[in-house]
Amino acid sequence: MALSEFETKRCEQIAKRYVDGRRPPPHIRPELDIGYRVKGQSVELFEIRPVWKGPPGEKMEHPIAKTTYVKTRGIWKIFWQRADLKWHRYDPDAEVQSLEDFLAVVERDEWGCFYG
């Protein structure tokens, strides 16, 4: 089940605040930026870069981290994307109680899975 409109707006505000704090200086953003999306019951963080070979101005997204809300349990599951391009559970902290806790786990990045 997707998040309610209220929950979605709250998630967008929290994610936007985090992303705004992590974004590079404005002069670097055409070459490297970070963004987020809230879709269904998930929040995803990603890097935005120009494509290596392609039309000028074309951008690509590289996933950083993803969390999915499990409403029945009231928890957020944390995932990272491995080289196989599939989302895998982040074992040091597989579940957290809030979106803010998820962002704190991503920021700590104990295993170097999110920011390398």
Per-residue tokens: 41: 């019951």
Predicted pLDDT at 1: 62
Q: What is the 3-state secondary structure (H, E, C) of 30-93?
A: CCCEEEEEEECCEEEEEEEEECCCCCCCCEEEEEEEEEEEECCCCEEEEEEECCCCCEEECHHH
Task: Say which residue the tokens 């009231």 belong to.
Answer: 74
17 vs 10: CA distance, rounded Å: 11
**Six-digit token string for 74:** 């009231």
Pairwise CA distance, residues 109 & 116, whole Å: 8
Question: What is the structure's pLDDT at 12?
Answer: 98
List the pLDDT tens digit at each of the 116 positions of the chain: 679 999 999 999 999 999 999 999 999 999 999 999 999 999 999 999 999 888 888 999 999 999 999 999 999 999 999 999 999 999 999 999 999 999 999 999 999 999 98
Confidence at residue 55, expressed as pLDDT on a 0 to 100 scale: 87
Provide the pLDDT for residue 57: 86
Instruction: Please name which of 54, 52, 56, 36 lies closest in space to residue 114, comparing C-alpha atoms.
Output: 36
